[in-house]
Structure 1
Amino acid sequence: MYKISEFAEMTGLSKETLRYYAEVKLLEPAYIDQSNHYRYYDDGSYFLALLLSKLRGFGFTIQEMIAVMEDQSFEHLEDLLMKKRASIRGQIDELLARIGEIDEFLASGREERSDD
């Protein structure tokens, strides 16, 4: 069992994030000592924390992460990851289109100045 500070260091998640994840029932401690209210995590919690950290890095919302954790079989995880990938690809395409518009706008401004 790991105290919250040890667990935070192991997983790269802050103590505040771990407390929040417990509050929203995303990742609850394996044990809470009733005498001092210290939170303890186990090896199973470690793997779930790594998964949550990875999902957060992929841009999953808290609600999406809760949906993944509620589906304990992780049967739909691949589908969710593919949807997230498509969403990110769409965002990239939109950003590239904006860059193209900016480039065109800059080029038209340069042409106007050179005509003067």
Structure 2
Amino acid sequence: MFSIGDFARLGRVSVRMLRHYDALGLLRPARVDQASGYRYYEAGQLSRLNRLLALKDLGLSLHEVGPILEEKVGPAELRGMLRLRHAELEAQVADDIARLARVEARLRMIETEGAMPADVVIKSVSGVRLAELSATAESYESDKIGPVIQHLYADLVERLDDAGLTITGPAVAWYEPVPDGVRAHAGAPANLEPGRTYDFDVVDLPSVEQAATTIHHGPMDDVSGTYEQLARWIEDNGYQSSGIAREVYLHYGDGDPASWVTELQEAVTRLA
């Protein structure tokens, strides 16, 4: 038998917690000295302690743990529960990291409020034929539209490879509002063959007579600040948006994200 102190050390818990588990009837000592009141535990009780701690880490309250322990949850069932919780925690961590990145991006936007607008060039944009896939995102927010676009491009590249085609220029993304969110279009110019049928769409984006264009540096997670500067420039210089916008990925996805370059193109007309 082991004293409560030794058992706590072996089980990696505190003596205080063992006393608490005893009071709740979750883990009774194997023996209590009647004269001194000292608690003693057997090595076999470490198994119950491990199950108790595992269930607690699953997010169950101690009051919920008791009945499950009495049902003598087997190792296989407990292992499955822990794996499920592990996956949930991984997803939660990923969500928290993404949320932190969005908060940092918003802070950068706030810190640059009032700064001079980004360099903007008014130019015509040529039409382009694209291999394209599209899907609906819940909204324009980075955490909603980003995963959709990323999945579409991964799928498009795979389909182009399967068709024996190569991408011949910068990828182009464009968006349109739909009743249930935003339709995101992921396209890329490729050596498409006339008359051939593909398992993706072939789309001809028309030319744009006038587009206000600017360059966004870095990943698209914090593109909102660049869009805000572009919008301010359009308004301050007597233009209005015609609702057609494109993102041209001049250099994206390889190397240091800080080196990625995207041209934002917003079709505009001059106010009378």
TM-score by length of 1: 0.75
Q: Return 102-111 or 8-17, whichever deviates more.
A: 102-111
Q: Return 69-78 or 30-39, whichever deviates more.
A: 69-78
Q: Amino acid of the residue matched to residue 84 of structure 1?
A: R
Q: Amino acid of the residue matched to residue 37 of structure 2?
A: H
- Looking at structure 2, the residues matched to 21 and 88 of structure 1 have their Cα atoms a distance apart, in angstroms, of 26
**Which structure is higher in helix share?**
1
Distance 1:32 1:11, change over 3 A: same
Residue aligning to 2:46:
46
**Aligned positions of 1:70-85 closer than 5 A:** 70-74=70-74, 75-85=76-86
Residue aligning to 1:35:
35
Structure number with greater CO (CA < 8 Å, separation at least 6) is 1
Residue aligning to 2:3:
3
Distance 1:25 1:46, change over 3 A: same
Distance 1:12 1:66, change over 3 A: same
**Which structure is higher in strand share?**
2
Determine if contact 1:31/1:41 at 8 Å carries over to the other structure.
yes
- State the aligned residue count: 115
Once the two structures are superposed, residues 53-112 of structure 1 have per-residue CA deviations (whole angstroms, 9 ceiling, x without a partner) of 4x2784543345435422314252123213312321232132023112212202312432
Q: Amino acid of the residue matched to residue 106 of structure 1?
A: L
Q: Shift of residue 44 of structure 1? A: 0.5
**Aligned positions of 1:1-116 closer than 5 A:** 1-53=1-53, 55=54, 58=57, 60-61=59-60, 62-63=62-63, 65-74=65-74, 75-115=76-116
Determine if contact 2:56/2:65 at 8 Å carries over to the other structure.
no
What SS does structure 1 have at the residue aligned with 2:35?
A: coil
The structure that has the greater radius of gyration is 2
Distance 1:104 1:67, change over 3 A: farther
Q: Which stretches in structure 2 are left out of the alignment for 5+ residues?
A: 118-272
What SS does structure 1 have at the residue aligned with 2:40?
A: strand
Residue aligning to 2:254:
none
Q: Amino acid of the residue matched to residue 9 of structure 2?
A: E
Q: Shift of residue 28 of structure 1? A: 1.3
- Looking at structure 2, the residues matched to 114 and 19 of structure 1 have their Cα atoms a distance apart, in angstroms, of 61
> Over aligned residue pairs, what C-alpha RMSD do you find?
2.7
State the percentage of identical aligned residues. 26
- Looking at structure 1, the residues matched to 63 and 85 of structure 2 have their Cα atoms a distance apart, in angstroms, of 13
TM-score by length of 2: 0.37
Q: Which stretches in structure 1 are left out of the alignment for 5+ residues?
A: none
Determine if contact 1:68/1:76 at 8 Å carries over to the other structure.
no
- Looking at structure 2, the residues matched to 14 and 28 of structure 1 have their Cα atoms a distance apart, in angstroms, of 15
Determine if contact 1:68/1:77 at 8 Å carries over to the other structure.
no
Q: Shift of residue 6 of structure 1? A: 2.0
What SS does structure 2 have at the residue aligned with 1:115?
A: coil
